[in-house]
């Protein structure tokens, strides 16, 4: 049995709700091969060198502060020991997790990190989340307090965004592409089909949902953001920080630069291609200002009929909050409108009622297992809303225990029945009234019949908020489901095992000063692994500068660059920096 880091007594992780803990998987460090370690080391060494002048200063400072080494893949337990000092933590997950869950983790000051690492053939960029992108891209920047607060607040707001069924389909399509992209042996035809599926969905999304707008902002800031630092433009987005290719190209004139405004929320992106334009924020505080602009447009803050209609359209678990503070959480199936105002709302299936984000005792999903419905608004001909009535006022309108009452709303909804009891909030306002022998009608339509049991009527003249997810996470077992499609783990071929063994020997030589025959390893590499170039670079690093073997390796690498044009710039990049290291060492002597 492997321990997850939630078993380690980390106070930040201990605070996570159960529905988020289901996404956490153990990082089995021994599963990383010597090839994986070499890929990490190459990307990190190249990135650190390259990013020294073009990344925001917080990045290089943050690498040290977050416990990330250039030479080896970080282990989550050690990383968390460091992260907790700045009020954060990290968990290992399986690839892309649903956006709402991703955001909610951030709201709890927790980074989600895909434990897998990209294949050598995708060393420059992969659409799949991996430990290079997640840990070396995201973690260092959160050492900056202003940016860390933006990330936390983004998660808080983003986790409440209302999505759509199309959003979910797009998420699953992107997750599928990321999985097969990193699965050894995937046919090009299969990749093209997956990419076309994403393109087709993106072209037919319709009016963007709140979750789509949040996703766009996240992409153009957290993933692909640029920032003005005095006279220069610097990189802070994790997608750029973890991509050797795009980090080098993004500051060139080939990529359009735009000032960062709310307009970015309405700009779609293509995850499979380099970005043709990027946004520049003047500082990290400006990111929060734009986020608040978007939040002000969301149903979370606006409520009203528009908010309820968004939930009905989403067909997913969501919550409305009434002016009394009563919260109704469920899948909203219908909102009846009269003169542009919500007159009656109805959920289907398991529903829970809450106050101040805590489930009302006796009003969980077991009780409201078939749904919930209630009128909204003011009473007809009465200036005083029910929630504002004193006990004497309620008695005057027969809203009192044991009384048979008839309540007609401005919308025309009529509630007739025997009052059983009521529930009040901390301010003394009545928030829920229960009836027996109750009939609820709107014209000829019966909304509730006496034989259906006790009728619980929510009290609230206005919908002040509407958002995705439940008010009290403890009310529902499966708020967000773990994806069924998992990352693909393929048993390695004998050829791969042989290559891995060569990498392992070189790693032992470098880390533990184990004696190896560099020439013998090179002969095997050249004969058996003609597509590999990274190990030759590692061998060159171990050679004495100016030796005959080093010249042979350089010639071989030049040849590999010609044979593998897609990797030529990486090979040249690696050789250039190895020569610079040798030059520095000579000067040091």
Mean pLDDT, rounded, of the chain: 90
Phi and psi at residue 373, in whole multiples of 5°?
-145, 150
Please report where in the chains the tokens 């990490």 appear, as a residue: 40
Asked if residue 493 has pLDDT above 90, the reply is no
Q: What is the mean pLDDT of residues 342-351?
A: 96
- pLDDT for 491 equals 67
Please spell the DSSP secondary structure of 12-51, one letter per residue: HHHTS-HHHHTT-----GGG--HHHHHHHHHHHHHHHHHH
State percent of the chain over pLDDT 70. Answer: 95
Does one domain contain both 427 and 338?
A: yes
Asked if residue 588 has pLDDT above 80, the reply is no
* Listed residues 293, 311, 345: the one ending a domain: 293
Does one domain contain both 322 and 465?
A: yes
Q: What is the DSSP letter of 340?
A: T
Q: Could you tell me the CATH number of the domain that includes residue 76?
A: 1.10.800.10
Residue 374, beta-bridge partner list: 345
d(CA 108, CA 114): 18
d(CA 88, CA 139): 9
Does one domain contain both 451 and 533?
A: no
486, part of any domain: no
Rg (CA), the chain: 29
259 touches 280 (CB < 8 A): yes
336, part of any domain: yes
d(CA 479, CA 159): 12
d(CA 55, CA 48): 9
- pLDDT for 269 equals 87
d(CA 157, CA 122): 33
Higher model confidence: residue 536 or residue 492?
536
488, part of any domain: no
d(CA 121, CA 345): 53
536, part of any domain: yes
Does one domain contain both 251 and 111?
A: yes
Higher model confidence: residue 430 or residue 9?
430
Find the domain containing 362 and state its range. 299-475
* Listed residues 293, 316, 343: the one ending a domain: 293
Where helices occur in 298-454 by DSSP H, the ranges are 299-302, 304-314, 391-396
Least confident of 58-67, 187-196, 228-237: 58-67
Widest CA span of the chain, in angstroms? 103
175, part of any domain: no
- pLDDT tens digits along 285-318: 999 999 999 999 999 999 999 999 999 999 999 9
Does one domain contain both 535 and 564?
A: yes
Q: How far is CA 507 from the centre of its chain?
A: 34
Does one domain contain both 527 and 425?
A: no
Domain tally for the chain? 3
- pLDDT for 270 equals 81
258, part of any domain: yes
Does one domain contain both 131 and 242?
A: yes
Three-class SS state of 467: strand
Does one domain contain both 402 and 446?
A: yes
Higher model confidence: residue 584 or residue 29?
29
Does one domain contain both 459 and 513?
A: no
Contacts of residue 280, defined as CB under 8 A and 6 or more positions apart, other chains included, come to 226, 227, 228, 233, 257, 258, 259, 260
Three-class SS state of 541: helix
Does one domain contain both 334 and 232?
A: no
- pLDDT tens digits along 6-19: 445 688 999 899 88
* Listed residues 427, 444, 475: the one ending a domain: 475
Where helices occur in 352-466 by DSSP H, the ranges are 391-396
Asked if residue 3 has pLDDT above 70, the reply is no
Tokens at 382, concatenated: 């009465």
Q: What is the mean pLDDT of residues 272-291?
A: 94
Does one domain contain both 506 and 408?
A: no
Burial of residue 158 (CB within 10 Å: 0-12, 13-18, 19+) is: buried
Does one domain contain both 13 and 110?
A: yes
351, part of any domain: yes
Asked if residue 4 has pLDDT above 70, the reply is no
Asked if residue 54 has pLDDT above 70, the reply is yes
pTM of the shown model: 0.87
- pLDDT tens digits along 118-152: 888 888 777 778 898 888 888 899 989 999 999 99
97, part of any domain: yes
Please report where in the chains the tokens 């699953």 appear, as a residue: 172
């Amino acid at each position: 049995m492997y321990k997850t880091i939630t078993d380690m007594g980390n106070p930040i992780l201990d605070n996570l709700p159960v529905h988020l803990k289901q996404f956490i998987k153990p990082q089995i460090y021994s599963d990383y091969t010597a090839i994986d370690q070499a890929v990490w080391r190459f990307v990190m060494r190249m990135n650190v060198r390259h990013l020294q002048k073009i990344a925001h200063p917080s990045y290089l400072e943050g690498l040290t502060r977050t416990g990330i080494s250039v030479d080896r893949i970080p282990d989550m337990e050690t990383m968390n020991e460091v992260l907790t000092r700045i009020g954060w933590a990290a968990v290992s997950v399986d690839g892309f997790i649903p956006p709402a869950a991703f955001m909610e983790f951030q709201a709890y000051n927790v980074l989600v990190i895909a434990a897998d690492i990209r294949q050598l053939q995708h060393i420059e960029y992969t659409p799949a989340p991996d430990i290079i992108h997640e840990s070396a891209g995201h973690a260092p920047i959160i050492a900056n307090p202003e940016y860390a607060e933006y990330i936390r607040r983004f998660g808080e707001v983003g986790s409440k965004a209302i999505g759509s069924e199309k959003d979910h389909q797009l998420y699953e399509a992107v997750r599928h592409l990321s999985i097969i992209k990193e699965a050894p042996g995937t046919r090009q035809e299969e990749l093209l089909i997956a990419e076309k599926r994403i393109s087709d969905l993106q072209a037919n999304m319709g009016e963007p949902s709140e979750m789509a707008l949040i996703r766009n902002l996240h992409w153009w800031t957290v993933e692909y953001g640029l920032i003005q630092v005095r006279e220069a433009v610097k990189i802070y987005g994790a997608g750029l920080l973890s991509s050797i290719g795009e980090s080098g190209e993004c500051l060139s004139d080939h990529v359009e630069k735009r000032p960062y405004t709310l307009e970015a929320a309405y700009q779609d992106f293509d995850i499979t291609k380099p970005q043709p334009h990027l946004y520049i924020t003047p500082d990290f505080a400006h990111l929060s200002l734009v986020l608040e602009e978007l939040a002000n447009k969301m149903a979370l803050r606006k409520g009203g009929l528009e908010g309820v209609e968004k939930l009905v359209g989403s067909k997913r678990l969501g919550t409305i909050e009434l002016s009394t503070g009563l919260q109704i959480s469920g899948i909203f199936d219908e909102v009846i409108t009269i003169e542009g105002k919500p007159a009656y709302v109805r959920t289907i299936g398991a529903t829970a009622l809450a106050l101040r984000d805590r489930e009302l005792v006796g009003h969980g999903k077991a009780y409201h297992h078939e749904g919930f419905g209630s009128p909204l608004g003011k009473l007809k001909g009465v200036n005083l809303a029910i929630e504002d009535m004193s006990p004497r006022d309620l008695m005057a309108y027969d809203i009192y225990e044991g009384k048979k009452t008839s309540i007609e709303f401005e919308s025309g909804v009529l509630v007739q029945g025997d009052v059983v009891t009521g529930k009040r909030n901390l301010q003394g306002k009545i928030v829920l009234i229960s009836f027996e022998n109750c009939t609820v009608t709107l014209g000829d339509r019966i909304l509730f019949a006496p034989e259906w049991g006790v009728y619980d009527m929510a009290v609230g003249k206005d919908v002040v908020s509407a958002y995705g997810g439940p008010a009290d996470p403890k009310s529902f077992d499966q708020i967000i489901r773990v994806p069924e499609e998992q990352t693909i783990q393929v048993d390695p071929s004998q050829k791969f095992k042989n290559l891995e063994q060569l990498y392992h020997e070189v790693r032992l030589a470098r880390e533990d000063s184990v004696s190896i025959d560099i020439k013998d390893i090179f002969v095997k590499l050249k004969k058996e692994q003609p597509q590999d170039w990274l190990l030759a670079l590692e061998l060159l690093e171990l050679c004495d500068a100016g030796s005959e073997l080093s010249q042979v390796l350089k010639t071989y690498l030049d040849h590999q660059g010609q044979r593998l044009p897609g990797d030529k710039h990486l090979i040249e990049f690696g050789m250039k920096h190895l020569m610079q290291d040798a030059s520095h060492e000579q000067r040091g002597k």
